[in-house]
Structure 1
């Protein structure tokens, strides 16, 4: 099977051209786990299959490193745009990509014939607790208490196609995320597990973030998480609606257009290497 290793701000995935490679759906979870293993496989935060679609220009079929299916990946979908353009699967600089039934629209900036950065219309943030989902007595979860391992945190929950709990902190650099991340991910208040962002606000236009992603652990970046963070910042009165989100793997530019109620994400997409592996 041919593959391409790509990343957006260090959030790395293995990309497979589903137009060419035909793999039975039942075999994909185990294949994903094997390929994602950083010691015995290629190594990645997951695998993304790029398929034909009757709803959009392309389909993104995304899997986390543990073989579970993911609904959306902001960094991953930018790389999908780069993949299809750089490989001449399209000559359009604006494409639509569907993932788990949700269509996103992407605009590419091309330099020297290859895609450099991608702007994604990430859609409308979902704030209703039952739709995220998160168990709560309130219709929306904004600055709400949650107890994890005997400690009380304040969380704001947002879905950008997948669920996020945002926790604001004075310091994220020294956070023992390997210990606390799984506690949030598997907390009883999150029926479908949760992605958790731990955030330090630097100023009205800049935040720093670390993320624990369900099914993958700590990653160097999370595009949907960065979008959710900016929405949470605005809802809590902490920043403006245009913010640079600093992640371990780089920076993303996020804008929440309040008039349209749409979130836009702009960031890099890079190819690391290509190869072939026996499956």
Structure 2
């Protein structure tokens, strides 16, 4: 096990979805991203504690910033919405990119983003959407859809997201054969007063509930629109941390698919250096 003593990091949160960030100019990718090391870093009791690890690297050829994202179980993921919101804020602060507009390279393609009062990111077009999936509903569930918003998601419309027995229902849906070989994140959504929506996520790679999921919020907004339940292009979703994620959905007449924009928190909680893991 490589000793990371003295390596600097930033702990960030996106609506309660938390991450340990490393500056790729200060530490090599290989040094901090072995599965065993990620598990140690993310451990809530013996490590720093996080839902995932992110390494940011400037791309010398075109000025873009590469996001390397890993779940807390050590597995890589093509995209994490809240980590990308946090990356936008941190890349601007570190001088890797301009807050007015930047390009972030992810496993799901290039994301354009900017950082004003809050970070905001533009997803690649979402093309794969199925408003109905033939999965048996549990009590309190009303319909299930599927969308790939960078990564695959099931979205379950239900009477009350807060009443869902997530740890019991989540694993079976997360690994359902209809989601593909690697499974999917699962989001339960229910209406709140004032046109808001409440959702909860069982996240693959964490294998449990996270307080927020950016790609899940986007997939949820798209399915709500497909089901005819939203009043316009803007959807506001309340996370389990109590913070809101805002999703704008554009469907250009001259293009296929849905073009989502996600706006939400990307905040540094603290900075430090690793002593021992």
Point out the structure with the larger strand share: 1
Give matches, 1:7-22, under 5 Å. 7-22=13-28
How far apart, CA to CA, are the structure 1 residues paired with 2:261 and 2:98?
23
How far apart, CA to CA, are the structure 2 residues paired with 1:151 and 1:266?
30
Task: Give the direction of change, closer, same or farther, for the CA distance of 1:126–1:25 in structure 2 (3 Å limit).
Answer: farther
How far apart, CA to CA, are the structure 1 residues paired with 2:159 and 2:143?
13
How far apart, CA to CA, are the structure 2 residues paired with 1:173 and 1:120?
28
Secondary structure of the structure 1 residue equivalent to 2:264:
strand
Match of 1:132 in 2: none
Give matches, 1:1-279, under 5 Å. 1-24=7-30, 28-53=34-59, 54=61, 57-100=64-107, 102-109=109-116, 116-127=117-128, 141-147=130-136, 154-190=143-179, 191-202=181-192, 205-216=195-206, 217-240=208-231, 241-249=233-241, 250-259=243-252, 261-277=258-274, 278=276
Ranges in structure 2 where 5+ consecutive residues have no aligned partner? 1-6
Select between 268-277 and 27-36 the one with higher mean Cα deviation.
27-36
Q: TM-score when scaled to structure 1?
A: 0.87
Match of 1:135 in 2: none
How far apart, CA to CA, are the structure 2 residues paired with 1:197 and 1:247?
11
The alignment's C-alpha RMSD in Å is: 2.2
Task: Give the direction of change, closer, same or farther, for the CA distance of 1:224–1:55 in structure 2 (3 Å limit).
Answer: farther
Contact 2:44 2:50 in 1 (8 A): yes
How far apart, CA to CA, are the structure 2 residues paired with 1:106 and 1:181?
31
Select between 168-177 and 24-33 the one with higher mean Cα deviation.
24-33
Task: Give the direction of change, closer, same or farther, for the CA distance of 1:274–1:164 in structure 2 (3 Å limit).
Answer: same
Q: Cα distance, 1:2 vs. partner?
A: 1.1
How big is each residue's C-alpha offset from its partner over 1:56-115, in whole Å with a ceiling of 9 and x where there is no partner?
Answer: 610110000101111111111111111122223334421110111510000110xxxxxx
How far apart, CA to CA, are the structure 2 residues paired with 1:238 and 1:79?
29
**Dislocated runs of 4+, deviation >6 Å:** 148-153
How far apart, CA to CA, are the structure 2 residues paired with 1:90 and 1:27?
23
How far apart, CA to CA, are the structure 1 residues paired with 2:237 and 2:149?
16
> Number of residues paired by the alignment?
261
Contact 1:52 1:59 in 2 (8 A): yes
Contact 1:50 1:59 in 2 (8 A): yes
